[in-house]
Structures are given as structure tokens and as C-alpha cells.
Amino acid sequence: MSTTAKLEIRDVEQRFDSTVALSRTSLNVRDGEFISIVGPSGCGKSTLFNIVSGIQRPTGGRVLLEGSDVTGRSGQVGYMLQKDLLLPWRSTLDNILLGASLTRRVSRADRAHAAGLATQYGLGDFLDHYPHAMSGGMRQRVALMRTLAFARDVMLLDEPFGALDSQTRMEMQQWLLRVWAEQRSTILFVTHDVDEAIFLADRVVVMSPRPGRIRQVFDVELQRPRDLETLTTPEFTTLKRDILALIYERDAAPGAPSPSSGGESPSSTPNGRQA
């Protein structure tokens, strides 16, 4: 993984009239890094994603992609929501091609690229299937392939596995890690599941209740590739305990200073605990 900042979130904040949805927030994401973001409902995770994706212009701050200011410019990163939003009248292949079809005429090369990607990641036998004939996990794979096929190499995934049963969810987590390892995309992943956050990520970002801010960033120093045994290691259990303790800390004062979200502040140790 590169140490170069692929994505920079600089002092971003969002107000809606008198309501502060997101306090000043900064985060540097390295090229090829997998970042998980956790926190209570209403803490500003989706607001942050809307800002990074360019759908929403922040009240203050900037978003930089490879050093270029992309604040308020949509289409610079891939964005996948919790619902797969597949079009029921489109086949698997045509759903994967949707992003390309919205911006240009789909070429034979586009179709070949999409079909090859689908085949590489287990969808080759379902190219002509329609969404109603697929399981929830399969639909999420199609949605992710749609995001990956013609999007930029930064992807925002907003609770993509939240609606799946636990077994399917674990299968999808392992499948996503395979895709990420082979494609080397830079991923920001929102989840309410701390196990999932740790299992997938290089770093876990913990956000506070509204007004949302980054409270702490934890390095996940677990060996890759990861499998089911990772979930039972002492290192995993310790990190989970520390993250949960921070999330459910009762005396956390909204608006209190947070450690550097870039993970390089002298006030934080490598594993995220306060020094």
C-alpha cells in the first residue's frame, strides 16, 4: 500500500440552518487503503460520503483527490449505497453497464470489460439473469461490479452488506477483500458492525454522536489475507473491545477535541489508544 495521500478531506464541515451535522473533519486516505468508518446513527457518516462524492457541497472545507480540488464535483469517485438499486428490467450485464450508459454510448469494448469483470468475480453464469431471480448477496455483487467497472479507483461503500443475513454477509466480506486485493482500489466503507469494520480495514475511524466528528483512528495490524480464524485472535478481540469502549463511552462530550484523523498525531499511539 502506498504512503501517498490518494484522498484528502480537509476541515470539512456541514451545517443545515442552525444544526451542525458534521463538525470540522479531516482525514488523509492513502492510495490502495481500506478505511472502515463506524459510529452511532446520525453521526454524519452519510453526510461525509455525500460531501466526498461531490453530491453535496460542504459548508466549509475541501476535498482533494490526488491533489486536485474536487469539492462539489460529482462523478470523481464510485459510490455504492446500502440498497443495490438494480434496475429490474436490466440483466446483470446491463446493470453493470449502467454507469457507462449514462455518460456515453456503450461500446463492444465496454461490454467485454464488464463481462470479463463479472466472470472474474463469480457472476459469469448470471450475465443474462434479472434481479428478481438473484439472491441478496448476488444482487450486491452486481451492484459492486457496477460501481467498480467504470468508476474511479476510489470507492465509497455505505453499509453495502447491512441487509444481508450473517452467513451471506461473511461470504460477501471475504469476496470484497478478494476484489480489493486484486483491483487495489481505495475504499471507504461505512458500517455499524464493528467486527466487519475490523475484519475488512487497514484503519477504523470512529465518529462521535452529532455533531459528527472523528474521535479516533485505530490501526488494524492484523495479517492479511484474513479468514474466519482472524475473528477469534487475541489481537482482534482487544481491538474490538477498545473500539466498542470508545463508541459507548457515556461521558464523551460532543465537540471535545479529537486526535488527528490522519493517524499521525503524537497524541495517539499506533493502535489508536490515547498515549
- On whether the pTM is more than 0.75, the answer is yes
1/126 same-domain check: no
Pairing of strands 68-69, 60-65: antiparallel
Burial class (CB in 10 A: 0-12, 13-18, 19+), 189: buried
Region 190-204 average pLDDT: 96
Residue 152 confidence class, pLDDT cut points 50, 70, 90 = low
Structural contact between residues 275 and 268, judged by C-beta atoms closer than 8 angstroms: yes
| Dihedral sign for Cα atoms in the order 24, 43, 154, 182 | positive
What pLDDT does 150 receive? Answer: 66
50/185 same-domain check: yes
Q: Which of 46-60, 180-194, 203-217, 239-253 has the lowest mean pLDDT?
A: 239-253
Predicted confidence (pLDDT) at residue 222 exceeds the cutoff of 50: yes
For residue 261, give every residue at least 6 positions away whose Cβ sits within 8 Å of its Cβ, in sequence order, or none: 9, 25, 26, 27, 28, 205, 214, 217
- The angle that helices 166-183 and 136-150 make with each other, rounded to 10 degrees, is 20
Predicted confidence (pLDDT) at residue 201 exceeds the cutoff of 90: yes
111/237 same-domain check: no
20/53 same-domain check: yes
Region 216-223 average pLDDT: 96
- Domain tally, the chain: 2
